[in-house]
Structure 1
């Protein structure tokens, strides 16, 4: 599949501190790529480098197969974006702000009306933006990004300031873009639940390092359950089960097994009982995605 965005060892250093270090993103055509990480992890800095708003210390960016440095104008003509917070003229109406971007991008009137309709601002278009709520300003920023219906749309925390209903609407909008407009979407967020519901591919960044990159399906497959088994004599139980082909791990006061079928659990239990080793407890543990995130990054803080 064609790579719409690829970065090679992309890095940004301020003084002696790396904000982003050796990031290799691979965003394929038609993806909704969820760029996930805590606040301050390096998401916005990475997106700014991809758009040419910040110069990398090291590394390179290729978009649509072209080098960003040599083809920035052409690349940006086919790219829409919303980075950090929307840019707008508060004394102008929503429609007037859209007209400014329309002139810059040289797109037809129908694009303006369709973009406003998509983000549900068609009835607020004649209101001054300084009177907009935070959520309305966010939706206007997304409409500006959509105005040219680009091949690539980059959204940095697009659900900021939205109420639950608004978050749901923007989520459904983003999910529809690849099929409806043949658009590839790169979306950053610190909200794992949002990325989980939208993204087809996910990249996890923390402390400027890309800790994981792969399909959302593969990430969820890391969510396989483990079986915890506690006996009256775990050391003896460990040896017995190991000899029978099991691969338990000793953790605290229990033996932990990965990927056991129900039949295998029953066999382990039967083997222990027949050896007169009392089984005190059998439990299934399943990690949620946040636990997987913490496991991948090795960090003790949540998103």
Structure 2
């Protein structure tokens, strides 16, 4: 697969404060790349630099193998984007707003019809946009980004304002784009629960710095499974295991031990029983992706 987007040491500084610092982001052709981070982490600023809407303080952006600075017009002709809140002419209908973008993009009527159908606005296309709900406006913004059926689609928090049914529709739409239209999709979100259902790769940014980049499986592998043991006398069990070279940590009603092999877990069980300490329960715990994400960012994913 070819690289569609590559940034090298991409940075943006306002005064003495870095909003984005030395980000190396790589998106491969045909991927759905989930760009994750709490609100204010630097996601939108990074996407704006990739589109040439914000000039980097340092670093370089390459799209479709071409330098953005010298090939911006050619790159944007093959790119669709929805950054932050979509902008419309409120006194025009949804279809009339789409016609404006159609003229700018120089695409046929069929593209407009198909894009409105994809986001399920075909029945509301003749309604004035200032009468649209927030969710309808968001879907219209996605339709405007799709109207040229670009090779690269960049969506910044595309499910904002959508109800659960609308979120599900947009999720299924995004999942279908690479195969149906041979698109590469870069989608940002602060909700891991959304990204993990559609993304093939993820990048996690926090306070302007990239903390992780790779597959969801690689992210899951960052969590070391823990064996949790509940005994009839946890203080005595903890003291005995410490003397045997283990490192149990009190975790509620359990003792937690990380990185144990199966034979070590079996040995601990024998030790406890041999020393007349009742073993009430042994469980394996592995952090889910959301817990890993929260540990990395130190923030609630829903903020």
1:249 to 234, 247, 250: 247
Match of 1:36 in 2: 36
Q: Give me the TM-score of the superposition, normalised by structure 2.
A: 0.91
Match of 2:48 in 1: 48
Gaps of 5+ in 1: 243-247
Alignment of 1:53-68 (within 5 A): 53-68=53-68
Match of 2:268 in 1: 268
Where 1:249 maps in the other structure, the secondary structure is coil
In structure 2, do the counterparts of structure 1 residues 121 and 258 end up closer, same or farther at CA, with 3 Å as the change threshold? same
Where 2:103 maps in the other structure, the secondary structure is helix
Where 1:159 maps in the other structure, the secondary structure is coil
Match of 1:182 in 2: 182
Render the CA deviation track for 1:207-254: whole Å, top value 9, x for unaligned.
1111111101222333553102364242432343x4xxxxx4342473
2:241 to 214, 237, 243: 237
Match of 1:102 in 2: 102
- 1:265 to partner: Cα distance: 2.8
Alpha carbons 1:32, 1:185 under 8 Å: kept: yes
- 1:300 to partner: Cα distance: 4.9
Alignment of 1:87-166 (within 5 A): 87-166=87-166
In structure 2, do the counterparts of structure 1 residues 302 and 229 end up closer, same or farther at CA, with 3 Å as the change threshold? same
Alpha carbons 2:191, 2:301 under 8 Å: kept: no
In structure 2, do the counterparts of structure 1 residues 214 and 274 end up closer, same or farther at CA, with 3 Å as the change threshold? same
Render the CA deviation track for 1:170-213: whole Å, top value 9, x for unaligned.
00000000000000000001111101111110111111111111
In structure 2, do the counterparts of structure 1 residues 189 and 255 end up closer, same or farther at CA, with 3 Å as the change threshold? closer
Alpha carbons 1:34, 1:188 under 8 Å: kept: yes
- 1:296 to partner: Cα distance: 2.2
Structure 2 CA distance for aligned equivalents of residues 89 and 133 of structure 1: 14
Count of aligned pairs = 295
Where 2:92 maps in the other structure, the secondary structure is coil
- 1:9 to partner: Cα distance: 0.7
Match of 1:205 in 2: 205
After TM superposition, the runs of 4+ consecutive aligned structure 1 residues lying more than 2 A away are 220-225, 228-231, 233-236, 248-255, 257-261, 263-268, 271-286, 294-297, 300-303
In structure 2, do the counterparts of structure 1 residues 52 and 295 end up closer, same or farther at CA, with 3 Å as the change threshold? same
Structure 2 CA distance for aligned equivalents of residues 300 and 105 of structure 1: 40
Structure 2 CA distance for aligned equivalents of residues 48 and 80 of structure 1: 12
Q: Give me the TM-score of the superposition, normalised by structure 1.
A: 0.91
In structure 2, do the counterparts of structure 1 residues 75 and 286 end up closer, same or farther at CA, with 3 Å as the change threshold? same
